[in-house]
Structure 1
């Protein structure tokens, strides 16, 4: 399993960074008619075919766009991608697959790309056919928007129930060249470890060898997107795509390159920030919850416990209600499937230790309640049984989550 590699001294954060912050990428988004008013069609294009990597949902039922995109990725190259929100084109059978191919074909034609170097992505309601007339018209309208298109427009076009757009970019120095990595993501509900109703698109102008690029994406996904949860649900359309077009003109990066760690740390930071934004923007959420587990025998065990606690509905509701009910944390640790010694367990809510080596402490309920009123909540768990650690992110569970999902289609 991968261990977090983020080292913030290796990179600089780009103010208002987007997927177009790296050299050689254009992107945009606008309202094509799939949703009532909000932007619903977005695209990214590289000036040259880029080395590409992808990670996809673990759900048994994978939507047609994923099948088409996987086919495009066979040779490890992508030059462009088209995304629609408002309709997932999932569980739509033969027609859904035909529509995904048609969407890819039309976008490739309009943008001057090879179909086999074009990705297709959809997100939204499951079980409804794409409104192909609106999509076709939208694709053919892209040239009219290109002059004023932006990465910010793209980030806005891919959201569904999200309340905010999710974007970040960083720069780092490799071989004396400035390398930039930018990303955009969407996700608010149906978010569970091992990906969820989330899409993430990461661009970089670095020159990176294909196998190393896929290895890097798989590795950072394991410590970022696969460590978030909102509601324990996993969707049919989730994917993360990473494109590296080499426009920074650095010496080709691989896992043996002396500055590989700089690239990997920068990439993980981008993905971690996008993942945390997804967790914080959970449907109806009011707080970001971070669970850090240390002192575990294995990293796998630390991850299992962190995911179990951050995904517990009872823990999430207690945090929403500012109730320092640490017994719910203990229960979630207990059913994680990992062996934990009761008399070695310590738990803290932020700076407040509530359990010390298996015994409750005399903490102030009032101080704990005040801490739980913060927007960012940290739960620290020490197993005192080893040297491995892991972090997971999630959110609280409010009345609004039920309201939003009870009327998702209406």
Structure 2
């Protein structure tokens, strides 16, 4: 189940200098696409942001190390097994996968970045993965985005991608990316897995800053179930093949590229929420006029994580008292209840400390019956605003996660 029509583009623009190859290793399901290799051309810059979960998976640990040791040439992803909570053995297994890719491609071990997603706490089936490495490498192509988007899925019901182009100084710049994720989504950095590439030339330090900023306004603003994965990774590659150099000195180009990157990452993040496990609603929660960014964000997330609010959303029940109760328990100091306003869509449901005099159940019901819903809280105590995106909580979410390992 997913909310709204599929958003995967009809055209995923190839990024010169970046190739993707997909194969079946049978990690969990025989015949399923579950192994993806991505090739990065020489001279590229590579940036990554990763989960802050203390039990971060072995591949995450290795990615962080390898990024500081060598220029990245290959990224290798398996699904069906997270290789998390597996201790020293899991670390050695992830290194073995890197070694297989390095041997197959002739690159240094540290030039390979590993990624895994799937069940936590189970041993990685290294032999299955390494056996399939040659097939994935043989399949490498700049047009391999569609297969790769399928190859990184777990409980996802649809592939997720975004592709954009813009012109500057007579040159065309391309940004293309894919993501995966449907459950265990409150990233605290990025998302379950996301990969994006551009043919712009950007130095590593600036690329890291651009990626961090983009993640903070996209993947770090989504939640399905308030759980942060052990494997969250978001990667951005700049191949430089367009010949256009993005730098802060060229302010107009910098701002244009940053805007396009943020839009691409936001599309990838929204696709995850729309495909949230069991989701029937795509919900935008905005908190306006807060005293600080943290106040706005914590209020928005508390609403997004409330089981009572989420189940009311699933039932299309305009039980606005549940939203009111969440705002009251956030812990906002010296909150002026008389100044507080709460809206469902454009319908004001709360004002002057209680039910708005003009509110009707019919008006609230009309908003809640929609697939896409806006909840807006106006605190009227400052100038800060934050938005997060989430889902409802359905019977199917429980079923999917109860049966996850079967």
Is the aligned partner of 1:293 residue 2:287? yes
1:30: Cα distance to partner?
2.7
Give the distance between the partners of 2:365 and 2:266, measured in 1 at CA. 28
Q: Which of 29, 54, 71 is the equivalent residue of 2:22?
A: 29
Q: 1:254-286, CA deviations, whole angstroms, 9 ceiling, x for partnerless residues?
A: 333312111111111111111111112111111
Gaps of 5+ in 2: 1-6
Q: Residues 196 and 234 of structure 1 are in contact (CA less than 8 Å); yes or no, is this contact kept in structure 2?
A: no
Give the distance between the partners of 2:190 and 2:402, measured in 1 at CA. 19
Residue in 2 aligned with 1:7?
none
Residue in 1 aligned with 2:3?
none
Residue in 1 aligned with 2:183?
189
Q: Residues 54 and 214 of structure 1 are in contact (CA less than 8 Å); yes or no, is this contact kept in structure 2?
A: yes
Change (3 A) 1:80 1:366: same
1:371: Cα distance to partner?
2.0
Is the aligned partner of 1:350 residue 2:345? yes
Residue in 2 aligned with 1:318?
312
Is the aligned partner of 1:138 residue 2:117? no
Residue in 1 aligned with 2:379?
383
Residue in 2 aligned with 1:271?
265
Residue in 2 aligned with 1:108?
102
Residue in 1 aligned with 2:155?
161
Q: Residues 53 and 76 of structure 1 are in contact (CA less than 8 Å); yes or no, is this contact kept in structure 2?
A: no
Residue in 1 aligned with 2:77?
83
Q: Residues 295 and 382 of structure 1 are in contact (CA less than 8 Å); yes or no, is this contact kept in structure 2?
A: yes
Is the aligned partner of 1:62 residue 2:81? no
Q: Which of 256, 261, 264 is the equivalent residue of 2:249?
A: 256
Q: Which of 245, 250, 259 is the equivalent residue of 2:239?
A: 245
| RMSD, aligned α-carbons | 2.0
Aligned residues: 396
Q: Residues 193 and 233 of structure 2 are in contact (CA less than 8 Å); yes or no, is this contact kept in structure 1?
A: yes
Residue in 2 aligned with 1:9?
none
Change (3 A) 1:14 1:236: closer
Give the distance between the partners of 2:159 and 2:397, measured in 1 at CA. 19
Q: 1:217-249, CA deviations, whole angstroms, 9 ceiling, x for partnerless residues?
A: 111211211111111111111111111111110
Q: Residues 284 and 400 of structure 1 are in contact (CA less than 8 Å); yes or no, is this contact kept in structure 2?
A: yes
Q: Residues 193 and 307 of structure 1 are in contact (CA less than 8 Å); yes or no, is this contact kept in structure 2?
A: no
Change (3 A) 1:14 1:139: closer
Gaps of 5+ in 1: 1-12
SS of residue paired to 1:188: coil
Q: Which of 348, 353, 368 is the equivalent residue of 2:364?
A: 368
1:359: Cα distance to partner?
3.0
Is the aligned partner of 1:341 residue 2:336? yes
1:78: Cα distance to partner?
2.1
Give the distance between the partners of 2:387 and 2:70, measured in 1 at CA. 31
Runs (4+) off by over 4 Å: none
Is the aligned partner of 1:39 residue 2:37? no
Q: Residues 28 and 42 of structure 1 are in contact (CA less than 8 Å); yes or no, is this contact kept in structure 2?
A: yes
SS of residue paired to 1:61: coil
Q: Residues 192 and 234 of structure 1 are in contact (CA less than 8 Å); yes or no, is this contact kept in structure 2?
A: yes
Give the distance between the partners of 1:350 and 1:149, measured in 2 at CA. 40
Change (3 A) 1:77 1:390: farther
Q: 1:382-408, CA deviations, whole angstroms, 9 ceiling, x for partnerless residues?
A: 111222111100100000111111111
1:111: Cα distance to partner?
2.9
SS of residue paired to 1:343: coil
Single out whichever of 46-55 and 213-222 deviates more from structure 2: 46-55
Change (3 A) 1:363 1:260: same
1:356: Cα distance to partner?
2.4
> What TM-score, normalized by structure 2, do the two folds share?
0.92
Residue in 1 aligned with 2:194?
200
SS of residue paired to 1:48: coil
Is the aligned partner of 1:359 residue 2:359? no
1:97: Cα distance to partner?
0.7
Q: Residues 338 and 353 of structure 2 are in contact (CA less than 8 Å); yes or no, is this contact kept in structure 1?
A: yes
1:148: Cα distance to partner?
9.8
Give the distance between the partners of 2:149 and 2:231, measured in 1 at CA. 17
1:146: Cα distance to partner?
3.5
SS of residue paired to 1:184: strand
